[in-house]
Amino acid sequence: MNKKGISAIVATVLIILIVAMAATTVWVFVLPVINEGVDVSGAIDDIGAIEIVTSGGYYALG
């Protein structure tokens, strides 16, 4: 039996499995950390509290 063809198939399957495991690791561990750090709901709630004051700004020197 010629095993050279089988080893190429095994190598391809192993590469696909490694890529799938890496993507799963990113999905499970990294994305929750990113989503935890990015909380835009509080920022959206604070938009109504912003007040822009245009009078009494910087005074000119001289």
- Average pLDDT (44-54) is 71
Global pTM reads 0.49
Which residues of 1-62 form beta strands (DSSP E)? none
Query: Which residue has 């499970």 as its token pair?
Result: 28
Cα distance between residue 32 and residue 41, in whole Å: 16
CA distance 10 to 17: 10
When pLDDT is averaged across residues 30-48 and rounded to a whole number, the result is 70
pLDDT at 17 over 90: yes
pLDDT given at position 19: 98
